Amino acid sequence: MKKFSVKKLVGMAVLLAVLIVLQLIGNFIHIGPTNISLVLIPIVLGAMLYGPVYGGFLGLVFGVIVVIGGVTGTDPFTHILLTEAPVATVAICIVKSTAAGVVGGLLYKFISKKNGIVASFVAAASVPIINTGLFILGAYTLVGPVLVENFVGEGQTLIYFLVVVCAGLNFIAEFAVNVIFAPALNRLIQLLERDRK
């Protein structure tokens, strides 16, 4: 039991380090007004390896890093939202990413009892869907006027801006990367499970 706990601690530390580095790199890759989220793979992996609580924790760290990027100005989109709607922006950043990690972990936990590869695909696909879906919902309901005032172009609607301009290509890239890596994640899980026995 103690050996497993040390392995889990080391594994989470490695995933946290990877998450932080990928998010810092992602701050410099923009598709539209938002940064691409490269950190979803470590969140999915943590959720699959250690469960929904750990996936949620990694998601929470991701959300905190996004808020820090907004505070420091390295993420200009989040910076403007924080300036004009700080509480709502922090809530969106924290809730969307934490929920994505938790849901990914729960789906993997339940589906893997029947089929590990299907569970890997479902968990990997669910994380960007939850992350982006809650971002769109939160942005539309909580910071819509700020977005309209600062970002929505003439002739655009808020929902078009959020779904197509803001999330569109980012979501497609994040979803594709997660689904492409799902078989590798499943294989890694199998190897680690075999090592635990």
List the CATH number of the domain containing 62.
1.10.1760.20
pTM of the predicted model as reported, rounded to 2 decimal places: 0.88
- As a whole number of angstroms, the distance between CA 61 and CA 64 comes to 5
CB contact at 8 A, 33 and 77: yes
Lowest mean pLDDT among 1-5, 58-62, 139-143, 187-191: 1-5
> What pLDDT is recorded for position 174?
84
- As a whole number of angstroms, the distance between CA 148 and CA 52 comes to 35
Strand partners, 31: 34
- Structural domains in the chain (count): 1
Structural domain harbouring 63: 2-196
Residue 1 pLDDT exceeds 60: no
Q: Residue 125 — very low, low, confident or very high, per pLDDT cuts 50/70/90?
A: very high
- As a whole number of angstroms, the distance between CA 132 and CA 164 comes to 12
What value does the mean pLDDT take over residues 67-71? 93
- As a whole number of angstroms, the distance between CA 38 and CA 135 comes to 16
